[in-house]
């Protein structure tokens, strides 16, 4: 699948097509909408160590770090927490492929529950407040309101794991729920506040990148003015239905670029982002109301499509008759995207 990778010489980010084998991770360059036949590089997994979650980059919370036995660091970014954890589990399995006991232990730990003994919630909160190693506080928008000094549910789970307060995400969610029950942190915004009304204690704290929390002593929300918001708040406030990396043809130059697509409902919009950029702002998007979406046959290049494309194409036509040509990584993924988009048109 597609993953942004940080360069070693020039520390910029490039999207590459990754293929995981038993003993190595290959990555390919995409040119003209098609994967090049020879790999651009390879990461040998023998003796590798993996760090996930990796919190070395504040603006990139979904990183996986691989350190080879020659001490070369590779940073790979995923588009969602679920994708990151899936890649990390598969890569870890490949690293320990010759040690089946370690693989079994990895899967057991993933679903186990054992909180560390003698955990002091006060100590955890003090660590969270630390200016250098504590949890990063950011401004966030939710339903038209701007909140200062907040963090997301998934960010807190990542922080608890990376600081060894929990082994699995299940343990971290349980620990975060305890912090909320003891009034160290509190929910803000619609997603996290509504979850607290759940009758199931395990669902009151959300391991979610759209659920906002803050320290209980932090200042209350302030409503933002329209001038402060560069993008339409309403179209970015919908529930995320699906997200992932797809290849999109440009409107002017007709070249192909990998973009991170985010599909939202209520209201129904499809936005796309440049995964190589630091700022998490859409570079484009459109309303799905009145759109037509359909798969394109792989035998030959359809009219309107430029370049030697890989295949698995589909097309979205907006109600303003703007045509978007998009490539999925497989036929199955193309079907998934079309089925997710159609009900929202």
Domains delineated in the chain: 2-111 (2.30.29.30), 121-220 (1.10.10.10), 234-342 (2.30.29.30)
Report CA torsion sign: 332, 333, 338, 339.
positive
**Amino acid 298: pLDDT:** 66
Higher-pLDDT residue of 234, 201 = 234
Burial class (CB in 10 A: 0-12, 13-18, 19+), 343: exposed
- Residue 270 pLDDT level (bands cut at 50, 70, 90): very high
Cβ distance 147 to 181 under 8 Å?
no
pLDDT tens digits for 235-248?
877 888 999 999 99
Residue 242, SS3 per DSSP = strand
pLDDT tens digits for 78-91?
988 788 888 998 99
**Amino acid 117: pLDDT:** 54
pLDDT tens digits for 306-340?
776 778 899 999 999 999 999 998 999 999 999 99
pLDDT at 106 over 90: no
**Amino acid 300: pLDDT:** 60
Cβ distance 174 to 115 under 8 Å?
yes
The CA distance from 212 to 20, in Å, is 34
Which is nearest to 59 in space by CA: 316, 227, 305, 279?
Answer: 279
CA distances from 87 to 100, 253, 326, 344 (A): 18, 33, 24, 29
Higher-pLDDT residue of 39, 223 = 39
Residue 123 token pair: 């100590």
Section 163-173 average pLDDT:
87
pLDDT tens digits for 90-102?
999 898 876 655 5
Burial class (CB in 10 A: 0-12, 13-18, 19+), 157: buried
b/e map of 233-254 (b: 16 or more CB within 10 Å)? eebbbbeebbbbbbbbbeeeee
pLDDT tens digits for 57-72?
877 878 999 999 999 9
How does DSSP classify residue 224?
P
- Residue 158 pLDDT level (bands cut at 50, 70, 90): very high
For the entire predicted model, the pTM comes to: 0.67
Residue 87 token pair: 């890649």
């Amino acid at each position: 699948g597609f993953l942004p990778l940080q360069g070693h010489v020039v520390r910029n980010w490039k999207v590459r097509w990754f293929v995981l084998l038993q003993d190595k991770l290959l990555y390919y360059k995409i040119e003209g909408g098609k994967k090049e036949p020879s790999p651009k590089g390879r990461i040998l997994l023998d003796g590798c160590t993996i760090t996930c979650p990796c919190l070395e980059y504040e603006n990139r919370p979904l990183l996986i770090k691989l350190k080879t036995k020659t001490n070369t660091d590779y940073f790979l970014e995923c588009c969602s927490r679920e994708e990151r954890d899936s890649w990390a589990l598969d890569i870890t399995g490949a690293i320990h492929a010759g040690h089946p006991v370690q693989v079994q232990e990895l899967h057991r730990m993933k679903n186990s529950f054992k909180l560390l003994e003698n955990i002091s919630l006060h100590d955890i909160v003090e660590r969270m407040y630390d200016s250098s190693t504590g949890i990063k506080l950011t401004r966030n928008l939710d339903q038209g309101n701007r909140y200062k000094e907040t963090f997301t549910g998934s960010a807190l789970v990542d922080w608890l794991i990376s600081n060894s307060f929990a082994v699995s995400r299940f343990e971290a969610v349980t620990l975060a729920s305890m912090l909320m029950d003891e009034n160290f942190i509190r929910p803000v915004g619609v997603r996290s506040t509504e979850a607290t009304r759940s009758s199931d204690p395990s669902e009151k704290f959300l391991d979610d990148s759209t659920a906002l929390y803050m320290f209980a002593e932090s200042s209350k929300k302030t409503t933002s003015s329209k001038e402060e918001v560069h993008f339409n708040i309403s179209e970015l406030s919908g529930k995320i239905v699906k997200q992932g990396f797809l290849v999109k043809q440009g409107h002017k130059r007709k070249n192909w670029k990998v973009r991170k697509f985010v599909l939202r409902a209520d209201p129904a919009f499809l936005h796309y982002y440049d995964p190589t950029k630091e700022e998490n702002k859409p570079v484009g998007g459109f309303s799905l109301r009145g759109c037509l979406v359909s798969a394109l046959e792989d035998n030959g290049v359809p009219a309107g499509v430029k370049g030697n494309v890989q295949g698995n194409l589909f097309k979205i036509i907006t109600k303003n008759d703007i045509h978007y040509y998009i490539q999925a990584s497989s036929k199955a993924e193309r079907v998934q995207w079309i089925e997710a988009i159609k009900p929202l048109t």
